[in-house]
Amino acid sequence: MPLRKLSLLLFSLLLVGTMFAQDVILKEGKYIIAKSGAFYTGIHKEYDSDHILVAQHSITNGILNGFTVTYYPSGAKKEERSYRDGKKDGTWINWNESGIRIAEARFKDGKKDGFWYVWDDQGVKRYEMFYEMGEKKGSWLIWDELGKLVSRTEY
């Protein structure tokens, strides 16, 4: 692609991105467009004071709906959350800054529901729990740093 066409394409993309960029603020638990006060729908990215991406939210009519992803200052993924109609719903996963999964939880309609796991920073599973619509159920297990089962509690 000739340099002139490439420059024109890049300028056009920058212009379009600027034209459609909107200031979105969180007000009384709802994401709104600052200028109009209308509820925001779309992907909203949050940056820190150094312009580093901190979080990216999927929003419908001012409320979280879909995935939210948070990031470490390094850019590594920190947490992935799932929402439906503003309530926690689905699987939430946390990673340490090295990219090792350290937690996984499940929600349904805003309540803890399903297996929850916790690993240490080396990836050794330390906890396994189960919830049913917010209530503790089944066997809750704890392992030591070597992976040896050290505790079992029944609910």
Q: Note whether 37 and 70 are same-domain residues.
A: yes
Q: Note whether 71 and 116 are same-domain residues.
A: no
20-51 residue pLDDT tens: 456 999 999 999 999 999 999 999 999 999 99
14 in any annotated domain: no
Q: What is the pLDDT of residue 68?
A: 98
pLDDT band at residue 6 using 50, 70 and 90 as cut-offs = very low
Number of folded domains that form the chain: 2
Q: Note whether 49 and 81 are same-domain residues.
A: yes
Q: What is the pLDDT of residue 8?
A: 44
48 in any annotated domain: yes
CA–CA dist 7, 24 (Å, integer): 30
CA–CA dist 22, 25 (Å, integer): 10
Q: Note whether 68 and 39 are same-domain residues.
A: yes
Query: How large a percentage of the chain has pLDDT more than 90?
Result: 86
Q: Note whether 82 and 115 are same-domain residues.
A: no
Boundary (domain end) residue, out of 88, 117, 138: 88
Q: CA geometry: angle at 19 spanning 10 and 5, to 5°?
A: 20
User: Stretch 64-81: mean pLDDT, rounded?
Assistant: 98
7 in any annotated domain: no
Range of the domain at 150: 109-155
Q: Note whether 84 and 27 are same-domain residues.
A: yes
110-122 residue pLDDT tens: 999 999 999 999 9
93 in any annotated domain: no
Boundary (domain end) residue, out of 58, 88, 118: 88
CA–CA dist 49, 72 (Å, integer): 14
122-142 residue pLDDT tens: 999 999 999 999 999 999 999
In sequence order, the 6+-apart residues with CB closer than 8 A to the CB of 46 are 53, 54, 55, 56, 57
Q: What is the pLDDT of residue 9?
A: 45
Boundary (domain end) residue, out of 43, 59, 88: 88
115 in any annotated domain: yes
